[in-house]
Structure 1
């Protein structure tokens, strides 16, 4: 038995991460792949059933995982991020949620055939989207800043309120049917307020302890993680499902205390959340039965799901966002994207059991109804978000953009070369004057420190997948690269070669990958540009291969980057252990003497041909 449980744990973790990798490798929605993998190893092939293997600890494990995921999401909810569209988020999270609750309840009653009491309860639960499904979609789709922020905030803020709203509706139903007294209803509101207060106070106290140095650096992340679990459990003991509200309040308070160690905490929680989201989706879908899946095929459920996707959600968004300044395109996208996920799946099981035990015969339909809505929205929104965002002009870019830090003559030339391939490019420097060469070429610039909070919250960096640190300060370049490793990945971060001291003295874990060969530091590159070095584009053919390029007066040519046939960017051309195929364009910084030699060579060839 122990061996089987260990196997299930290992299998769930491995399959979850493998699903994430497959989604990344083939550019597919991660939540779709995770759901399909869970169904294959669970009800379809019956390889294992996590619910049976874990027994009584299955639901508590899922609940704790959801609490951590929700806290991690709320830890990124800095109020400075939503300057200019706070009204939109407030209206969607309040008026929009209320409209979705009422209209969703009527849809469940008239279309799915649930009694009005049960529909009233489940309608409250179905307003949730949540970080488990929204964050992977945002990571995949690269939306513009405003719609992405609104979807993220709505998903995280509404998530705990959806569970509480369903719990409130349950209390109302019990009160109407005289199962409970009015006192119990008052206690519900008191318990909800107490849970939010516990989370907020715990977040503030923990933040102060971190900031004042009472917790050593190596214990900060473990201390925060254990505190989240404690707050969740304590609140849930006071009243079921209030723990989610407590951890959300805790995360939001800490996010807005502007802690010096907040970024390290976020990165730690992000890593855990990826693991938990992957594992929980596999566990939930693998635990389903064929009978439950067959219930989804009911035509009434199908009609209900369509109504939720095409009527309830768009109606709630379009009505709640009247007069808040959102464009028609933004309202259309936000009105379509509302995938349901882990919270809806886990909490629906609790309500199904309570309602059934209380004599509501249609309570056992809730699980199948939730599954139908989750699978339909995950598939539909997962595959459509990028396409729709592109059609509505709300995708930041389809191209992999480049962010260059350091306003120099070389940066301007490099940026112009990249932009000639329709790549989004931005050059950032702390000095307005240093950006003059870049502005003169019509390249987008930003004055400010890339490490400052002003830049982080006022400059949309979403379109840029590559970073090149090219300032004249080696240590600053390394610091910039280190800062963006978690967001961009070390493979997409470069810095110009170190020009002071021996490069071997520096740790390989610091900074980014070397942009060029060691002899081409930023001072040398700037000097070459001042001497008249120019950009040269060389397209490889069957007759002129990469080997020919390397042997063709390479001492007068500095390869900067390559662009493949599919328009993908490749840096570190010389250091790359690859053989570029024909059709690849190599962009180099070429000596003016080399240009003259090429022109003379071409002229001589033309003259010889004319003599013949």
Structure 2
């Protein structure tokens, strides 16, 4: 039965969603499942032929999707990240790229049997490190210090740099300019950079100008930004082939570092779009693989993969970090953060097709080796980077610390009691006097606003796995779930119920993650503590279980936190049920009067 274009795309999206969910559930990189799914429905079973379904639209769609992905990456690049690690980042995307290109060129020629120009092209394609896989890895690892900034900037900037390099090498290869090849590459680079900076500046200036003069309503922000980035991408590529990826990346960087427009809603929209695009692209491109090229997977290609991981990446990191102040632990972790992703696969697929049409049949082997590299690097780094980071003391795989939004008197008392029983606590408050008092109690506290993206970027979230919003402002408490979800899972962000109870049928009420109980409002705690209520803790034992606790305290206690024997923190909520086990320590508010 023939399936329509819509039908094919629909079940590709469904298959992508399933792969993403299974990856999340099993805690394995979803890219491996997406590639497996694409290979299964394509060359293995013959259910999907992307070229037949999309025809000439396939690669324009792939290019536009990659542009959106890189723009979203650019939106995460803040110049403030460069304060401590700017030198290393510059070296990684310059010296690191050169070292990678040179070493991969030698290995491609000797181990894969490619000729000189094909080796140069394949080496250029492998200078990219894939923000689509580094981003999720960094969110999982949550490394301390400079590593996360270095890896993030490198992963995003290397993509357009590697693409431009590959395109210029391809032009030399396909045109056979010989001795003039170096001149072509240098002039191409200069032209690409000039076009990228110019169009990114025009696009950013136009958008911010419309916002400043109030000619662009908020509901059109996402649509206009999408139109501008695709327009700039198209014009850039028209002026210089494949220069559009640099243009859209710089456009994202410009928006990320201006103060006129809050880009959080734009970033959230693009992030959701990115997940769908990545899922579709990996399935589509894996489905294009010619089964005959599997012969390219042999001992030579396996040694090539091993050399890429064990020789090329360590060499690139060592050369890039000499004299930079980066310690050996950070260097080792950087060596574990070089997976290849969708850009490498997409460009390899495109160049393979062009070279085959130009009469270079051995180019088909590039795609098979590239898929091996993606699977191998994502599998190796994805599975080993997190435990290695933990062994190096640079991250915590299961952070249990609690972020307190609000450092007023009773929040400090609650945090102090939680700290006594082994809970890691960090408090933030915009009131410097509150912060000073918290520090006098030997608590970690920072002065800043939960609405400030720059402030949150500066916070160390490596040990924080939960957040509780305890301020007197109901809007601040509710909004904390929006501002903090980039750093903490939304299900682990709680806030006090508003003073005026929201109708339970309202959509907003359903999104709430209310703290402690249905009575737990700011004024409730104020009244209780003024009347003599106290924060206390008790450990459950064989002779004093939960039933005994209920019998002794009953309605005179409001349960707040439960600390397990292994240090795991669970927070009591009006929407969830916790059954504390023997050995758990309960933090509770011993009420002065029973709640009405």
- Say yes or no: TM over 0.5: yes
The 5-angstrom pairing of residues 538-577 of structure 1 reads: 538-539=539-540, 546=546, 549-550=549-550, 552-563=552-563, 567-573=567-573, 575-577=575-577
Distance (Å, rounded) in 2 between the aligned partners of 1:178 and 1:358? 17
Distance (Å, rounded) in 1 between the aligned partners of 2:108 and 2:230? 34
Distance (Å, rounded) in 1 between the aligned partners of 2:321 and 2:181? 37
Is 2:282 aligned against 1:245? no
Q: CA offsets per residue over residues 440-463 of structure 1, 9 Å max, x none? A: 443211122222355224322343
Distance (Å, rounded) in 2 between the aligned partners of 1:184 and 1:454? 41
Aligned to 1:281: 282
Root-mean-square deviation over aligned CA pairs: 3.1
Q: CA offsets per residue over residues 170-227 of structure 1, 9 Å max, x none? A: 3344566559899966763464135312233222222322343221111110111122
Distance (Å, rounded) in 1 between the aligned partners of 2:521 and 2:233? 52
**Gaps spanning 5+ residues in structure 2: where?**
none
2:496, 2:514 within 8 Å by CA — same for their partners in 1? yes
Aligned to 2:413: 413
Distance (Å, rounded) in 2 between the aligned partners of 1:35 and 1:419? 45
Aligned to 2:439: 439
Distance (Å, rounded) in 1 between the aligned partners of 2:185 and 2:481? 54
Distance (Å, rounded) in 1 between the aligned partners of 2:586 and 2:296? 54
With 295-304 and 512-521 compared, the bigger mean Cα shift is at 512-521
Aligned to 1:130: 130
Distance (Å, rounded) in 2 between the aligned partners of 1:503 and 1:527? 21
The 5-angstrom pairing of residues 224-303 of structure 1 reads: 224-292=225-293, 294-303=294-303
Is 2:36 aligned against 1:36? yes
Aligned to 2:326: 326
Distance (Å, rounded) in 2 between the aligned partners of 1:116 and 1:285? 27
Distance (Å, rounded) in 2 between the aligned partners of 1:336 and 1:587? 40
2:41, 2:48 within 8 Å by CA — same for their partners in 1? yes
Distance (Å, rounded) in 2 between the aligned partners of 1:245 and 1:534? 55
Structure 2 residue matching 1:514: 3-state secondary structure: coil
**Gaps spanning 5+ residues in structure 1: where?**
595-612
Distance (Å, rounded) in 2 between the aligned partners of 1:340 and 1:181? 27
Q: CA offsets per residue over residues 149-190 of structure 1, 9 Å max, x none? A: 111111111101101111222334456655989996676346
With 580-589 and 140-149 compared, the bigger mean Cα shift is at 580-589
2:297, 2:369 within 8 Å by CA — same for their partners in 1? no
Note the C-alpha offset of 1:245.
1.5
1:402, 1:466 within 8 Å by CA — same for their partners in 2? yes
Give the length in aligned residue pairs: 591
Distance (Å, rounded) in 1 between the aligned partners of 2:165 and 2:184? 15
Note the C-alpha offset of 1:366.
1.6
Structure 2 residue matching 1:345: 3-state secondary structure: helix
Is 2:452 aligned against 1:452? yes
Aligned to 2:463: 463
Distance (Å, rounded) in 2 between the aligned partners of 1:562 and 1:139? 26
2:561, 2:572 within 8 Å by CA — same for their partners in 1? yes
Distance (Å, rounded) in 2 between the aligned partners of 1:251 and 1:593? 55
Aligned to 1:55: 55
Aligned to 1:382: 382
Distance (Å, rounded) in 2 between the aligned partners of 1:361 and 1:519? 72
The 5-angstrom pairing of residues 194-209 of structure 1 reads: 194-196=194-196, 197-209=198-210
With 117-126 and 480-489 compared, the bigger mean Cα shift is at 480-489
Structure ID, larger Rg: 1
Distance change in 2, residues 1:174/1:34 (3 Å): closer
Distance (Å, rounded) in 2 between the aligned partners of 1:383 and 1:182? 40
Distance (Å, rounded) in 2 between the aligned partners of 1:252 and 1:518? 44
Aligned to 1:315: 315
Distance (Å, rounded) in 2 between the aligned partners of 1:186 and 1:485? 43
Distance (Å, rounded) in 2 between the aligned partners of 1:307 and 1:203? 41
Distance (Å, rounded) in 2 between the aligned partners of 1:104 and 1:428? 47
2:403, 2:464 within 8 Å by CA — same for their partners in 1? yes
The 5-angstrom pairing of residues 175-214 of structure 1 reads: 177-178=177-178, 188-189=188-189, 191-196=191-196, 197-214=198-215
Aligned to 1:141: 141
With 245-254 and 458-467 compared, the bigger mean Cα shift is at 458-467
Distance (Å, rounded) in 1 between the aligned partners of 2:361 and 2:48? 30
2:172, 2:181 within 8 Å by CA — same for their partners in 1? no
TM-score by length of 2: 0.90
Distance (Å, rounded) in 2 between the aligned partners of 1:463 and 1:553? 33
TM-score by length of 1: 0.87
Aligned to 2:477: 477
Is 2:494 aligned against 1:494? yes
2:461, 2:487 within 8 Å by CA — same for their partners in 1? no
1:399, 1:423 within 8 Å by CA — same for their partners in 2? no
Distance (Å, rounded) in 2 between the aligned partners of 1:169 and 1:219? 40
Note the C-alpha offset of 1:134.
1.3
The 5-angstrom pairing of residues 16-95 of structure 1 reads: 16-95=16-95
The 5-angstrom pairing of residues 131-170 of structure 1 reads: 131-170=131-170
1:175, 1:185 within 8 Å by CA — same for their partners in 2? no
Aligned to 2:430: 430
Distance (Å, rounded) in 1 between the aligned partners of 2:350 and 2:104? 19
Aligned to 2:335: 335
Distance (Å, rounded) in 1 between the aligned partners of 2:348 and 2:501? 61
Distance (Å, rounded) in 2 between the aligned partners of 1:299 and 1:186? 36
Distance (Å, rounded) in 2 between the aligned partners of 1:141 and 1:50? 35
Distance (Å, rounded) in 1 between the aligned partners of 2:203 and 2:23? 37
